[in-house]
Structure 1
Amino acid sequence: MTEAASINAVMRALADPTRRAVFERVVSSDEITVVELTRGSGVTQGAISQHLKALKQAGLVAERPEGRKVYYRAQPEGLEPLVDWMSHYGVFWRERFANLRLLLKEIDP
């Protein structure tokens, strides 16, 4: 997967608020099953499975089958393309704020 495709996949996966909530629950636990994710979510088990599939395809979660259960865990390295992309803009904004600070000092000596 190219870097642009990776960024797009991560952004697309996290764009859905329900999927983001599922991802946050996976992140907050060591491992979690679809049944556990479904409890109290107000979302069907089938929908949770679809959200997990999209998160897995984006590289954000991994699964571990054990008997009849499948356990999901977060893959923090899946966020690397997004972090790299955002860090580029962090440099951009730091430079802009530094320039603004200099300009304000010139205006109000």
Structure 2
Amino acid sequence: METPDTSQLEIRVHEQLRSCSPIFLALADPVRQDIIMMLTKHEKLNVAQIVERSPMSRSAISHHLKILRQANLISSNKVATEIFYSLEIESAVSQLKDFIGTTEQIIELKTPDEAE
């Protein structure tokens, strides 16, 4: 049996991979992973509260928060003079699920049926 043309799916998965790259890069760093874990335990934290829970400096934490924000993994909300950060991963999870779904479709199309 001939394998159906997967070129359109491959183009789509390539585009999805590119759009997911900031998420992968943000999640690849252990410090950012720690920040994500902190925010899973607390509804919101400001920079000082995150620094208290980390061995990193305030400027380093701010840098990591910026990367997480750019990847749309966290959101920030200013209250008076403080900025509070909270986990906002629904969009990123949706992007990753779409990427995985397309990848699975390609694998299914390229994998010969075992029954044949």
TM tier, shorter chain?
A: 0.7 to 0.9
2:72 is aligned with 1:59: yes
Q: Which residue of 2 aligns with 1:68?
A: 81
Aligned length: 98
Q: Distance in 1 between matches of 2:58 and 2:65?
A: 10
**Aligned residues: percent identity?**
23
Q: Which residue of 2 aligns with 1:81?
A: 95
Report the TM-score when normalising by structure 1: 0.74
2:24 is aligned with 1:11: yes
User: Residues 40, 25 of structure 1: CA spacing in aligned structure 2 closer, same or farther, 3 A cutoff?
Assistant: closer
Ranked by relative contact order (alpha carbons within 8 Å, sequence separation 6 or more), the top structure is 2
2:62 is aligned with 1:49: yes
Q: For the Cα contact (< 8 Å) 1:63–1:73, is it kept in 2?
A: yes
Q: For the Cα contact (< 8 Å) 1:61–1:73, is it kept in 2?
A: yes
Q: What displacement does 1:40 show?
A: 3.1
1:27-71 deviations in Å (ceiling 9; x for gaps): 221111111111031111111111110000001001000111000
Q: Distance in 2 between matches of 1:86 and 1:3?
A: 9
Q: For the Cα contact (< 8 Å) 1:38–1:48, is it kept in 2?
A: yes
Tell me the secondary structure at the aligned position of residue 41 of structure 1: coil
Q: Distance in 2 between matches of 1:90 and 1:29?
A: 34
1:59-103 deviations in Å (ceiling 9; x for gaps): 10010001110001111222221232234556759xx8xx5xx8x
Q: CA RMSD in A?
A: 2.5
Q: Distance in 1 between matches of 2:42 and 2:19?
A: 24
Q: For the Cα contact (< 8 Å) 1:6–1:58, is it kept in 2?
A: no
Worse overlay, 9-18 or 84-93: 84-93
Report the TM-score when normalising by structure 2: 0.70
Structure 2 unmatched ranges of 5 or more: 1-14
Q: Distance in 2 between matches of 1:90 and 1:20?
A: 26
